[in-house]
Amino acid sequence: MGAASPEGIDPVRLIPTSPVALIEIDNPPVNATSQAVRAGLLAAIREVDNNPRIEAVVIACAGKTFVAGADIREFGQVPREPHLPDVINAIEACSKPVVAAIQGTALGGGCEIALACHARVAEAGASLGLPEVKLGLVPGAGGTQRLPRLVGLDAALDLVTSGRPVKAPEALRLGLIDRLSSGDLRQDAIALAQELIGQPLRRTGDRIVTPMDAEAASAKTAEIRKKARGAEAPDKAAELVLQAANLPLQDGMARERETFLELRSSEQSAALRHAFFAEREVMRLPGLDSVEPRSVQKVGIVGAGTMGSGIAIAFADAGFDVRIVETSEQALGAGQARVRDVYDKQVASGRITSAVRDERLKAIGYAVGISSLSDRDLVIEAVFEDLDVKRALFRDLDAILPPGTILATNTSYLDISLIAAATSRPADVVGLHFFSPAHVMKLIEIVRTGATAADVVATGLALAKRLRKIPVVCRVCDGFVGNRILSRYRQQAEYLLEEGALPHEVDAALEAFGFPMGPFAVSDLAGLDINWARRKRLAPTRDPRERYVDIADRLCEAGRFGRKTGAGWYRYEGGKREVDSAVTALVEEASQRRGLTRRAISADEIQSRIRAAIVNEACKILDEHIVERPLDVDVVMMHGYGYPAWRGGPLFEADRVGLQPILAQVRERAAQDGPGWEPAEGLVSRAASGAKFYP
Ligand code: T1G
């Protein structure tokens, strides 16, 4: 129907069965509403309207999902007719009942199509949502106006400003869908359409929205703005949803469209669209496309601590056969309790059913000693962060594991080549660096040594896809990508303390920048003792000319390891973070020892110095080919270290800020902070040539 796709395939076809016809959208991979789909849908609806033999119609999609939204790739282009709001208005205005049959995901424009239908049936596993704010946009085809008409203002504000999808059972409770399919989705949708023939049409747009009292509305908007941490779309989306209570549908849609078009050409949306495609592009590593991954179903985890148990949950959630081992029954019991606790909490919050919990718990076995791992396809160690301990463990695993088993380490800093060298099979050794909590955090750094086989790296990528994680492949260096950049960013933050800032000022400046938490608050959460151990390990090899701030050492010597000891960079009373004058005194005393006169330091200076430190270290990582692409760094920083996604990551943003001012900042620091802070060659050459990270 309508226009064919560039490949000449017609993505929409009308099957004019009577009395209920079927409109099928078939535009792989996710049935996005490309121009051809929009034109096809409009033509099909017009045909339904004009064909007397057709009394109702079902809109359904081929493939694994309903429409997953507008075609994001089209956003950079000039919009072409028909525009989605017009197609959707035509669906709602159809003189015959239109029923949506939803499988997989109905997201963005797909959800808006469903909202304009006169009824909706979904498979139990389906999900619906308006995630546009995650792309720096607002729904642009009626979502902010029709959703509140179906589910009320409160629920609509939550769904539109968070962008979170809801599973079909919750959608039914909210009134977003009318029925859960009992099995044959299309048959169930056709049955419902049949029932609606001759009934008054239930147009969502005709429904009234109960207003929210002004005080509640402004409290809600303030909360949304706070949570957005600098992202502009959620606030605008909230405004539009609230207007649905006072404006007729078409007036509300006109304002919505205006806002949508304004945001579509915004920096933030460009950054978030970059982030969307970057987190998919990292899965594709040049040179590995044709490498077959090894088959992995049985996974062994050595160590049942916080990381080990989190990794076990991630694998159990993805349907793997998991076995955790420890050195003692007691340690094993503690790990088992951790795993159980996580799942019990998920049941309590309604995230999973108790049946799913029991299934997942059954997938995880426990044993003392590594001998029970001899049948595993993959073994991941998450034991104490000590090189000798890990080398001894890998030597022992090497002796019992069959050929072809992959040996992975979850180390966050150590040289994996040295761990691999303790085995007779360094080609089978790789780093799988998870982030805490491992069953929640999306990022995995896949660290390959010079010896790691290509199919082992390919297996890591395939595993990440099954775990629904975002993998970034990198080579060995101290701290890999994320922790290496983090330690530079932390050092610069500590230099700022010596020069005049205080921990809460640095944290406030970086939280205003968009980080969920500043570096000092993060240290207190993670525990200061971990990095203290690392600093002590590195002390013998540290360059004496490099500027070193010892405030954190003095906090640790005083037993202030952070939240877990009730004090670190801050004091914690009743779990609340309090500025501590004892720390202020320690910081001021450090300035004196350095012979520095403390000065007022602005949030701008704090933000630009931290950004310069991050960008410079990122350039060194690219210069050394630790990773090959700027997007690898951006994805690590956004998904592992809280770099605001609406900035697109440090290198995407550096292109916008300009490399000259960043280089100037780096040069100024190099003069003061000594070795390790010299400008990266890649930064100097790009700044000189004007070359961008993303041409
Ligand atoms: N447009 C273009 N390409 C898309 C796409 C989209 N909306 N969604 C996915 N793809 C590509 C993706 O890049 C990948 O390509 C392939 O499809 C498979 O995706 C007017 C303005 C649906 C949950 O934000 O959340 O509607 O890498 O690897 O893990 O109001 O894709 O293979 O080349 O992610 O199974 C709103 C975005 C748009 C949903 C499937 N919609 N998509 O996840 O596969 S704005 C969204 C997703 C909008 C209207 C507004 C997920 C998914 P490639 P995948 P998956």
The SS3 assignment for 295 reads: coil
Alpha-carbon torsion (515, 518, 519, 521), positive or negative: negative
Q: Which atom of ligand 1 is nearest to the CA of 107?
A: 41
Cα dihedral 53/59/61/64 (nearest 10): -130
Q: Is the CB of 544 under 6 A from ligand 1?
A: no
The stretches in the chain having pLDDT less than 50 are none
85 close to ligand 1 (CB < 6 Angstrom): no
Residues whose CB is less than 8 angstroms from the CB of residue 182 and which lie 6 or more positions away in sequence, other chains included: 188
Query: Between the CA of residue 178 and those of 114, 120, 183, 353, what are the distances in Å?
Result: 11, 5, 15, 22
pLDDT of the residue at 1 = 53
**Residue 304, CA distances (Å) to 332, 343, 526, 579, 586 in order:** 6, 15, 18, 35, 37
Q: Which residue, judged by its Cα, is nearest atom 47 of ligand 1?
A: 68
Question: Residue 447 C-alpha to ligand 1 middle, in angstroms?
Answer: 28
Q: How many CB atoms lie within 10 A of CB 637?
A: 27
Which atom of ligand 1 is least distant from the CA of 264?
A: 21
Compute the distance from residue 272 Cα to the ligand 1 centre, in Å: 13
Determine the atom of ligand 1 nearest the C-alpha atom of 280. 27
Of 614, 617, 613, 621, which Cα lies nearest the Cα of 666? 613
For residue 110, the CA-to-ligand 1 centroid distance in Å is 11
Instruction: Check pocket membership of 143 for ligand 1, CB cut-off 6 A.
Output: yes
* 546, 494 Cβ separation under 8 angstroms: no
Q: Is 685 helix (H, G, I), strand (E, B) or coil?
A: helix
Contact 87, 41 (CB under 8 A): yes
pLDDT given at position 544: 85
Q: Tell me the CA–centroid distance for residue 32 and ligand 1, in Å.
A: 7
Tell me which residue has its CA closest to atom 43 in ligand 1.
Answer: 30
pLDDT confidence of residue 542: 86
Task: Give CA separation, 402 vs 392, 425, 428, 658, in Å.
Answer: 18, 11, 11, 53
Does the CB atom of residue 279 touch ligand 1 within 6 A?
Answer: no
Best residue for ligand 1 mutational test, from 25, 27, 30 (most atoms within 8 Å of Cβ): 30
Residue nearest to atom 38 of ligand 1 (CA): 69
Any atom of ligand 1 within 6 Å of the Cβ of 528: no
The whole-number pLDDT of residue 259 equals 98
Ligand 1 nearest-atom number relative to CA 468: 29
Expressed in angstroms and rounded, the spacing between residue 567 Cα and the centre of ligand 1 is 44
CB 135 near ligand 1, within 6 Å: yes
Q: What is the pLDDT of residue 54?
A: 98
| pLDDT value of residue 227 | 94
Residue 138 CA: which ligand 1 atom is closest?
30
Ligand 1 site, residue 300, Cβ cutoff 6 A: no
Residue 675, SS3 per DSSP: coil
Neighbours of 185 (CB within 10 A): 20
Nearest alpha carbon to residue 224 among 353, 138, 323? 138
**Which burial class, exposed, middle or buried, applies to 167 when counting CB atoms under 10 A from its CB (0-12, 13-18, 19+)?**
middle
- For the stretch 211-215, contacts whose Cβ atoms lie closer than 8 Å and that sit 24 or more positions apart, written own/partner, are 211/153, 211/245, 211/246, 212/153, 212/154, 212/242, 212/245
CA 30 to ligand 1 centroid distance, Å: 6
- Which residue, chain included where needed, has tokens 């010596």? 498
What separation in Å is there between the alpha carbon of 116 and the centre of ligand 1? 21
**pLDDT reported for residue 536:** 87
Q: State the pLDDT at residue 538.
A: 80
Question: Annotated catalytic sites, by residue?
Answer: 112, 132
Residue among 72, 112, 466 to mutate when testing ligand 1 (max atoms within 8 A of CB): 72
Beta strands in 377-465 (DSSP E): 378-381, 406-409, 429-434, 443-448
